A and B are shown apart, each in its own frame.
Chain A
Amino acid sequence: MKEEITNNKRCAYSEGRGKNSGRIVLHADLNNFFASVECFESGDPEMWEKPVAVCGDSEMRHGIVLAKNEKAKFFGVKTGETILEAKKKCPRLITVKARHELYMRYARAARKIYLRYSDRVEPFGMDEAWIELTGCPGIRTIEDGRKTADEIREKIKNELGITVSVGVSDNKVFAKLGSDYKKPDATTVFSPAEYDSVISKIPVSEVLYVGKNTAARLKSFGITTIGQTAKQNPYLLKSILGKNGINIYHYCRGEDDSQVDVFGSHAEAKSMGNSTTPPKDIENFYEAKLILSSICDTVCSRLRAEKLKCRAIRINFRDTSLHSFERQTVLGFSTSCARDLLNFSCRLLSDSVDLSSTPLRSIGVCAIDLLPAAGTAVQMSLFSENDGRKDVIDSTVDELRRRYGFSKISNALALCDSKKLGYIERGYEVFTSGR
């Protein structure tokens, strides 16, 4: 991350010099990913014309909308609301249960298509990726980038049956801005030539890493667009937003020289997590522990399947008024043992929230700062009394599950009230950029 303020550095965009960094970066974003896959997999072309929402467990009171198609969006269906709420707005809403493994297959196939054009493909979430075309054969100008983007769109459509929006620029931030600008199935080129007429007028809230709070703070100073942000004194932005203010200043000026990672150079998943909305709100620590225990179990099982360990964890939770919170902590050692994750997530939770006054609607655990398990030095620590026995237990559990199915063995804790608490589906991966 850039720390210093480089006012006199290259600012091709904001000065309208029409010169770019010389890089050609694509950002591809699969449109309404989960919902599109379900519409396509149904084999019924009419499905695209009907409102469709992909949901968590729909049997349960809190089945939640995870994704929706254009038609459902039109009816005001929102991600994160319950099926009941969504059906109130749209009685004919078709709800399908999420099939994460199917979506992973599509995501992997899409990445394989991107990898035909460059080895520098950096996934961002399950459905997005940057593709660096700089220096690739036949690629010299931004126009070549546009042609490749169009080709990728065709290939995704023909080979996977779904659509993708692609942004083309000379940096990652504006490429992502471009893929968001026009959907579905569109290519948007954002080069310096488009800065004054288009880019500068886009709300700053659309810029990568500019969250709701950041946008609201900027707005209170009368700053709402990318162009306005780019013209501010960077020191002012720093005083409003802290260190992040400088990054946002540079991003709004198209000054982002962060590279696109070579595919596979990092563990593919930079974090792995699972969350659940039990059928009943979580009202005490005992219930929370039961649920966390199941979640940690699936997350760790997944970690071990991918031969990864984590060095930090993050928990996220939502209260009954749907405010969400996030807390994270480093572990001081690396692990893929459910017991370790459970200890730390319980501690984090009890430090962050008083359940008697703030019952929770949903809760999740995410293993972050992942690294390959092989070659990981086993670091002794006060918290991880690892004498090897835990590893034996874990690998036995994994083997039993591999042979007889995931649900055949679980933590005894999970047996208590498992009916009441509902849950639990297989863990699935959550991809984040980590940067």
Chain B
Amino acid sequence: MKYTKKYVGINARFDTAGNIIPLYILWEDGRKFPIDRVKDVRPCASLKCGGFGIRYTCSICGHEIYLFLDGNRWFVEKRK
């Protein structure tokens, strides 16, 4: 199974400590996916599609997905 980087829009909250908490993923077709919970944040490489950044492990509608902050862009690992 091949994956590709899919850059996405994000709505996020910055807390007083400077942490970024992503709230919604904004898909290109206009859909909004609320992030129920961020379970983990760490610097990490994307083993599925290459590249690295800060990895946010998010749960969205019961699914666990990785959201990567790459410089100041966000991407998800999307199946080709």
Q: A43-B4, A44-B2 are in contact. Are A161 and B46 (CB under 8 A)?
A: yes
Once the chains bind, are A161 and B52 in contact (CB under 8 Å)?
Answer: yes
Is B37 in contact with chain A by the CB < 8 A criterion? no
How many chain A residues touch the partner (CB < 8 A)?
13
Asked whether A40 is an interface residue with its Cβ less than 8 Å from the other chain, the reply is yes
Q: In the complex, which of the residues A43, A109, A159 contacts B50, with contact meaning CB atoms closer than 8 Å?
A: A43
Within the complex, what minimum Cβ distance (angstroms) separates A316 from chain B? Answer: 33
Please give the distance in Å from A94's CB to the nearest CB on chain B: 15
Q: Is the interface of A mostly helix, strand, loop or mixed?
A: helix
Contacts of B42 in A (CB 8 A): 159
A259 interface residue (CB < 8 Å to B): no
Interface residues of A in 38-79 (CB under 8 A from B): 40-44
User: Judging by beta carbons under 8 Å apart, are A160 and B45 in contact?
Assistant: yes
B33 interface contact, C-beta 8 A:
no
B42: min CB distance to chain A, Å: 8
The answer to whether A321 has its CB under 8 Å from any CB of chain B is: no
List the B side residues contacting A157 at CB < 8 Å: 45
**Bound complex: CA of A40 vs CA of B71, how far in Å?**
17
B3 contacts partner chain A, Cβ-Cβ < 8 Å? yes
Residue among B44, B50, B71 making CB contact with A41, cutoff 8 Å: B50
Interface residues of A, Cβ cutoff 8 Å to B: 40-44, 105-106, 109, 157-161
Residues of B whose CB lies within 8 Å of any CB of A are: 2-5, 42-52, 71
Q: List 20 A-B contacts (CB under 8 A).
A: A40-B50, A40-B51, A41-B50, A41-B51, A43-B2, A43-B46, A43-B49, A43-B51, A44-B2, A109-B52, A157-B45, A158-B44, A159-B42, A159-B43, A159-B45, A160-B45, A161-B45, A161-B46, A161-B50, A161-B51
